[in-house]
């Protein structure tokens, strides 16, 4: 495994343990020199370069200040040292609020290609999560014109969250934000609204075992990941999930033979298309249209049959409604294809 640590002037020092194989595995810690705070940018300098086929173990941090966590009841000794270091030393922030690890440059990825991201494993990094809301954010902000943060213990053994006495939530860890650089014309793109680059999709289907497909908009793709969620309900209605720090293991494949124009995913059981827009209706239109296009291009159906199949077998889900651009996805079971 190859480990990257922050060094002088933000450079990264490579320490190699073991002989390199045809595909390598890297470990990428989260630090002030390896995170992008609140943005995706085609001009960003990569913190790690890998080849197609390589695997990266990426450490991510929850997006809350150590002070806020301590005020909410987290013992000072339970706040991650990496989080303290990032909040103390990462100065290039905004316009969004997410702490994202990366960008990772995948050699050979060029605009027009597709980056295939295989989510091999997702591990809890800390034994707690938080959920919080404040006025101005969330679906019912007028009903809750104040701020509150709740610390929620996580049990790794049972993979459950102890939300309250008599209330236990099963954990299904996933990353709220996974994305590549936007088209260069976008400039520095706010990490909050999901878009063609992926980003803050808050889609709870993107768990370990899922493959995400993103259109490459800049050389190297420049993948970033963060906004770890131990679990979430569809909608993420108060603006946060079970926010926590996660460690994700990803394999990156550059696809020259596939040219997706919008984020798409595949779970062990379903094909997933996506749509994002400030108007929930437009987002739904996009998700359905993307599924129709997928079925026609990849499954050989006529457009008419693809539209019909989406109606009789596809399920629309609202993934989130709180990030300016709302998210909708359509899941279509693989089991309908018998050959």
Last residue of a domain, one of 264, 295, 318: 264
Q: 78 and 8 in one domain?
A: yes
Residues 139 and 47 grouped into a single domain = yes
Same domain, 276 and 170: no
CA distance 180 to 41: 8
- Please check whether residues 319 and 227 belong to one and the same domain: no
Q: What is the pTM of this model?
A: 0.93
Spatial separation of the C-alpha atoms in residues 52 and 105, rounded to whole Å: 10
Q: What is the domain count for the chain?
A: 2
Check if the beta carbon of residue 57 is closer than 8 Å to that of residue 208.
no
Residue 110 C-beta-side C-alpha neighbours within 13 Å: 3
Is 200 found in the same domain as 327? Answer: no
Query: Do 148 and 293 share a structural domain?
Result: no
CA distance 179 to 217: 11
Residues 301 and 152 in one domain: no
Domain around 314: 269-336
For residues 212 and 311, membership in a common domain is answered with no
Of the pLDDT bands very low, low, confident and very high (cuts 50, 70, 90), residue 10 is: very low
Domain CATH for 104: 2.60.120.580
Domain boundary among 224, 249, 264: 264
pLDDT band (50, 70, 90) for residue 3:
low
Would you state the pLDDT for residue 188? 97
Q: Give the residue from 257, 289, 252, 259 showing the smallest Cα distance to 274.
A: 289
Do 208 and 241 fall within a single domain? yes
Instruction: Write out pLDDT tens, residues 134-187.
Output: 999 999 999 999 999 999 999 999 999 999 999 999 999 999 999 999 999 999
Residue-level pLDDT at 78: 98
Question: Helix, strand, coil proportions of the chain in percent (round to 5)?
Answer: 15, 40, 45
Which tens digits make up the pLDDT trace of 179-190?
999 999 999 999
The CATH code of the domain that includes 328 is 3.10.28.20
Whether 306 and 257 share a structural domain: no
* Whether residues 58 and 10 fall in one domain: yes
CA distance 207 to 158: 17
Question: Domain boundary residue among 249, 264, 279?
Answer: 264
Query: What pLDDT was estimated at residue 325?
Result: 97
The answer to whether residues 213 and 298 belong to one domain is no
Rounded Cα–Cα distance for residues 240 and 243 (Å): 7
């Amino acid at each position: 495994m190859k480990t990257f640590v922050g060094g002088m002037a933000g450079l990264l020092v490579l320490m190699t343990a073991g002989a390199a194989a045809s595909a390598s595995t890297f470990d990428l810690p989260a630090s002030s020199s390896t995170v992008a705070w609140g943005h995706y940018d085609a001009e960003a300098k990569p913190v790690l370069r890998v080849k197609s086929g390589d695997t990266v173990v990426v450490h991510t941090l929850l997006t809350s200040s150590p002070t806020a966590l301590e005020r909410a009841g987290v013992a000072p000794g339970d706040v991650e040292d990496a989080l303290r270091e990032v909040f103390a030393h990462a100065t290039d922030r905004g316009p969004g609020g997410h702490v994202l690890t990366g960008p990772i440059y995948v050699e050979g990825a060029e605009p027009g290609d597709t980056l295939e991201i295989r989510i091999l494993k997702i591990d809890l990094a800390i034994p707690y999560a938080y959920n919080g809301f404040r006025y101005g954010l969330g679906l019912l902000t007028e009903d809750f014109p104040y701020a509150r943060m709740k610390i929620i213990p996580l049990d790794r053994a049972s993979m459950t969250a102890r939300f309250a006495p008599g209330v236990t939530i099963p954990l299904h860890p996933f990353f709220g934000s996974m994305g590549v650089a936007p088209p260069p014309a976008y400039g520095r793109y706010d990490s909050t609204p999901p878009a063609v680059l992926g980003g803050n999709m808050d889609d709870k289907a993107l768990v370990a075992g899922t493959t995400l497909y993103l259109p490459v908009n800049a050389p190297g793709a420049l993948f970033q990941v963060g906004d770890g969620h131990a679990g979430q309900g569809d909608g993420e209605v108060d603006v946060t999930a079970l926010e926590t720090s996660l460690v994700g293991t990803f394999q990156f494949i550059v696809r020259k033979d596939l040219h997706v124009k919008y984020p798409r995913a595949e779970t062990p059981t379903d094909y997933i298309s996506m749509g994002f827009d400030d108007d929930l209706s437009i987002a739904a239109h996009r998700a359905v249209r993307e599924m129709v296009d997928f079925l026609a291009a990849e499954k050989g159906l006529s457009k008419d049959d693809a539209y019909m199949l989406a109606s009789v077998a596809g399920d629309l889900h609202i993934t989130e409604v709180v990030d300016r651009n709302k998210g909708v996805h359509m899941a279509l079971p693989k089991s309908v294809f018998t050959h």
